Structure 1
Amino acid sequence: MSEVSRVLKTFIAYMKRPDLYPELGRKIIKNTLNRKNAFKGKEKTGSWAQSKAVSQHEAVQHLFGADTASFRSLYADILTEAAKKERECPVKMGGAGALEMIYFACEYTQANNVVETGVAYGWSSLAALLSLKKRGGTLYSSDMPYLAQDGDQYVGCVVPEDLKGFWKLFRFADRESLPKIFADRTAFDVVHYDSDKSYNGRFWAYQELYKHLRKGGVFISDDIGDNSAYQDFCEKNNIDSVVVEFEGKYVGIFIK
């Protein structure tokens, strides 16, 4: 599909969904007037992240006192089946991410309530749900419909049926989903951000999510090297964040 065809298909899909009009307006502004803002501070944060970066194994051991290898051995069959479902999915939606970090964050906090933004195949959702199931907890997820790819039915496709009873999925942009989620649950044990990559979108969501993270809870954000939103947020709130280098990208994580 050409770029013009993709944009046109996305626009038509938005027009059929009045509930998504607010996000359509934000996207138009972001991709025209605020285009440069998406990468604000990228070079600064790239240097900052590189100077602090450790491996996922080191971060999990340091923060949670756990060995990442145990996750892969404990859930080998489930992860193998999930990988098979991803391969069979006709829509491309992104990689698995730092699953061990998410799982052990939930284990460390003995999480009963987790909120994430961004679902795609559902790898991060799977990692959180494997822990939440032990305590009968709930994962709240915010994820925009895949309007240009006809991919809605595949969102979360790697999550097994027996885990879906512990999952509440809100199919809107973060600015619409998060208020709905916070109306249902006001405090969370773990926060995982992996949605809007723009500076403004990140900074707004970080502030909202941080307010609803309990003291002692864990905050995780993927792709923090895209711009300086995460670094600026941490500096504004005097947060000493751990930075993890994972598959050529940076993930930020701290305990509140």
Structure 2
Amino acid sequence: MSEISRVFITFLAYVKRPRLYPELGRKIIKNTLRRKSAIKGKEKTNSWAASVAVSQKEAVSRLFSQDIEAFRNHFNEILQEAGRKEKECPVKMGGAGALELIYYACEFTKAENVLETGVAYGWSSLAALLSLKKRNGILYSSDMPYLAQDGDQYVGCIVPENLKENWKLYRFADKESLPKIFSEKDSFDVFHYDSDKSYNGRMWAYNKVYERLRSGGVFISDDIGDNSAYQDFCEKNNIETTVIEYQGKYIGVFIK
């Protein structure tokens, strides 16, 4: 599919969904008037991240006093089945990330309420739910439909049915989903960000969620090398953060 065809199909999909019009307007502005601001500070942050990054194994050991090897050994069958479902999915979305980091963040905080932005196949959702299930906790997720691929029904497709009773999925952009989630729950134990990659989108969500993350809660953001939003946010709030190098990208994590 050409880029022009993809944009046209996406636009038509938005037109058919009036509830997504606010996000359509924001995307038009972001892709015209604010294109350069989306990658603001990228070189600065990548240089900083490269100089301080550690492995996921070291970060989990340092922050949560856990060995990541136990996760895949314990949940091997579930993860294998999830991988099979991903391969069978006709829609291509973002793959699995640092699952151990998310799982052990939930274990460390004894999480009962977790918030994530960005779902795709549902790998991060699965990692959180495997921990939350133990305490009958709830995962609140925000994710847009995959409009260009007509993939609405496949979002979260790898999550097993027995975990879905602990999951609330909001199918809007963050600026619509998060207020809806906050009206239901205003304090969270773990936050995982993996949605709008723009500088402004990140800063808006970071600030909104940070004030609702409880003391001792864990804040995780994927792909922090896209721009300097995460670095700037941490510096502004005097936050000492850990940076993880994972499959050529950087993840930021800190305990509030």
Structure 2 residue ranges without an equivalent (≥5):
none
The letter of the residue matching 2:193 is Y
Report SS of the residue matched to 2:149.
coil
1:155 equivalent in structure 2: 155
For residues 150 and 253 of structure 1, the distance between their equivalents in structure 2, rounded to whole angstroms, comes to: 33
2:22 equivalent in structure 1: 22
Is residue 135 of structure 1 aligned with residue 119 of structure 2?
no
* Offset, 1:113: 0.2
Report SS of the residue matched to 1:119.
coil
For residues 89 and 209 of structure 1, the distance between their equivalents in structure 2, rounded to whole angstroms, comes to: 32
The letter of the residue matching 2:168 is K
2:194 equivalent in structure 1: 194
1:97 equivalent in structure 2: 97
1:112 equivalent in structure 2: 112
2:237 equivalent in structure 1: 237
1:204 equivalent in structure 2: 204
1:8 equivalent in structure 2: 8
The letter of the residue matching 2:178 is L
1:247 equivalent in structure 2: 247
Structure 1 residue ranges without an equivalent (≥5):
none
Kindly provide the CA deviation profile for residues 24-63 of structure 1, in whole angstroms up to 9, marking residues without a partner as x.
0000000000001110000000011011100000000000
Report SS of the residue matched to 1:111.
coil
Kindly provide the CA deviation profile for residues 195-230 of structure 1, in whole angstroms up to 9, marking residues without a partner as x.
000000000000011011000000000000000000
Report SS of the residue matched to 1:97.
coil
For residues 95 and 16 of structure 2, the distance between their equivalents in structure 1, rounded to whole angstroms, comes to: 29
Q: Report sequence identity in percent.
A: 75
The letter of the residue matching 1:16 is K
For residues 92 and 57 of structure 1, the distance between their equivalents in structure 2, rounded to whole angstroms, comes to: 28
The letter of the residue matching 1:171 is R
2:75 equivalent in structure 1: 75
CA RMSD of aligned residues (A): 0.4
Kindly provide the CA deviation profile for residues 139-181 of structure 1, in whole angstroms up to 9, marking residues without a partner as x.
0000001111011111001100000000000000000000000
The letter of the residue matching 2:48 is W
